[in-house]
Every structure is written in C-alpha cells, then in structure tokens.
A = this chain, B = another copy of it.
Amino acid sequence: MSRPKYAPKNPLLSPRFGDVATFNRLPYVPDLKGKDVDVAIIGVPFDGGTSYRPGSRFGPRAVRDASVLCRNFNPSLGIHVYDRLNVVDGGDVSVNPLNLQTTFKNIEKHVRQVHEAGARAILVGGDHSIFLPELRAIHAKFGKPIIVQFDAHTDTADSAWGEKYHHGTPIRRAIEEKLISGSDVFQIGIRGPLTSADQEDYCHEQKISILDIESFQDSKKRARFFSAIHKKAKGSGKGKPRPVYVTFDVDGVDPAFAPGTGTPVVGGMTSLEALTCVRALKGLHVCGANVVEISPPYDHAELTSLLGAALVFEFLGLMASR
C-alpha cells in the first residue's frame, strides 16, 4: 500500500505542541474539490441551539488542540488509519452565531460539498442542533442512515420556548423530515430525570431502540443491542450494507470523564466503555460521524477535548476498516 497523500506531521521531528494546531496535525484543506480526499474533519463552531451552559462554539478549536496527541496506528482496531485513507482538516463551516437558520443552511451546503468532492465528513461541534442540517446532506447522498447515538438525552423533544430547532430536538425533526426512521435509531447511555414520562412515549411510538444506562450495565443486554445494530446494518442481505451514522454527544459519558459539556447528567458510562462501544461498530459502513457538545469553558485539563479527539480517531478507524 502506498503512502497516502495526506499525513499528520511526524511527532518525532516536530514536537506536538508546536505550530498551528489542525485536527490530528493533518494538512489544512478547506476546499476539497479535486483533492483526492477520503475523509474531511470539519469544525462547526455553533452553540446557538444550547439550552443550558453554552461554550461549544469553542469545541472545534479545543479538539484541534487536543488532537495533536493522536497518531497513525489504532492498535485496538489494528489499522494504520492514514495508510488507508486520505484525511484532511477541512476547516470550519462558516456559522452565524446569531442565526440558527443561516447556520443550518451553511452546514448542509458545506457537507454536501464534501460529498460532492467524493469524501465523507466527520463533524466536530458545536451543539447537537447541528446534527439536523448534517442529516439533510447525509440523506441526500446516502438515503436514510442507521443512527447510532451516544447521549444522555434522546433529543426527541418537540420544542422549548416555542422553538422547534435546538439541541434537544434533532432526532424528532429528522424523523418528521423523513431523513431517518425511528426504527433505525439506536441510542446508548440515556439517563436522567425527564419533564414527563410522555417523553418516553414518543421514542416508543417511533420504535427507537434505547440502551439506557441501567440496561447498559447488563453485558447481555449490551451485546444484544449491538447485535441488533449489526443485523440492521447488514440490510436485506442481498444488496449492499446500509449506511450507518455515528453521533456522539459527549454528555453520553459521565461528567467525570466529560466535564466540559452543556447539559451534564451524572451516572453515565466511562470513556473506556464508550470507546469500546464505538469500536464494536467495526465493519459497518460508516457514512459519517460527529462528536458534539464539547464546551471548553467548563472543561478541565482538556479531559473532554481529549475524549473528542480520541473519538474522531476511532471514527477514522471505523471508516478505514472497511
């Protein structure tokens, strides 16, 4: 296998803390047209859909900084990521911090351009509201994907303060817009108090599969849940496998592991458990992925940004493993 066009700077020649920080010290290629790129890591510095602690607009910058500790070989997956894939830092979506709808349009347009250039996108948020416009682009390219969602919340609220679009509603809106089917949604790590039991009813009606934190602790239930994902992703068996989208809201892990986030819920999984679950998706056709809700002003010692960077590296591993 020949050396890829794009590779991280060599840490043994130039120290990791040096120079301008790009995702994984990869080349910065904001315009992908004609660039032979397989995957672009793209920031979406938007927190205008946040209901509690803001700050995830600084998520992309913080993940870039933390990602310099990432390297080339993923020993858990046994893959030399950059030998298999041409990966670049695709820059940030041009957001409008004061206007969610404008930002949504820019996100969708930006991801469509990535797809047009023949590449897949990994997005670094930003709050979870950015997922909806991304799904619009994903749907246009790949059709309805299977959704694997790590989260404390189901994000199926209807509205808040009369607003339909915010970080608690992307799954509901995406189902309404027929971008995804509820029965294709797999949620892991759900927990915490709800406004009402009615919130569970919607998920039930939509046939969303939920591995809540109580079930998560039961190894058999966990295995069954991931089996179901693999089975669903395999498709009918005749045609090609179905596309899978992985969305990771960092509040899916316990706030001890991800303090820098907007709506923390205690009693979640560990980082190790999360990474193990992500790696369990190996072999699936991952058409896109994101990590969202990293709020650096509330982070400490880059804990949350380091987790975000590690997740991006695992997403790359998943994409490289097929």
Contact = CB atoms under 8 A, between A and B. Distances in A.
B194 A73 contact: yes
Contacts of A13: 94, 161
A17 B272 contact: no
A2 interface: no
A253 to B, nearest CB: 9
A194 B275 contact: no
Interface string A201-245: 000000000001110010000000000000000000000000000
A52 B266 contact: no
Given A75-B194, A193-B73, A91 B19 contact: yes
Main secondary structure of the interface of A (DSSP, over half): loop
Nearest to A316: B193
Interface stretch (A133-141, A178-186, A255-263, A281-289): A255-263
A107 to B, nearest CB: 13
Interface stretch (A32-40, A114-122, A143-151, A293-301): A293-301
B71 A195 contact: yes
A194 to B, nearest CB: 4
A172 interface: no
Given A267-B272, A275-B267, A55 B55 contact: yes
A161 B92 contact: no
A4 interface: no
A315 to B, nearest CB: 13
Contact of A257 (B80, B160, B254): B254
Given A61-B21, A276-B217, A15 B72 contact: no
B94 A259 contact: no
Contacts of A61: 17, 21, 65
A13 B159 CA distance: 10
Nearest to A89: B20
A308 to B, nearest CB: 9
Contacts of A306: 255, 264-266
A1 interface: no
A270 interface: yes
A111 interface: no
Interface in A7-65: 10-22, 28, 30, 43, 45, 47-55, 57-58, 60-61, 64-65
Shortest 3 CB-CB contacts between residues of A and residues of B: A259-B301, A54-B54, A297-B297
Interface of A: 10-22, 28, 30, 43, 45, 47-55, 57-58, 60-61, 64-65, 69-76, 78, 80, 89, 91-92, 94-100, 102, 159-163, 165-166, 191-197, 199-200, 212-214, 217, 254-257, 259-260, 263-272, 274-276, 297-303, 306-307, 310, 313
Given A15-B52, A298-B301, 12 more contacts: A12-B161, A18-B43, A20-B89, A61-B65, A72-B195, A75-B197, A99-B161, A254-B271, A254-B272, A257-B266, A265-B310, A266-B275
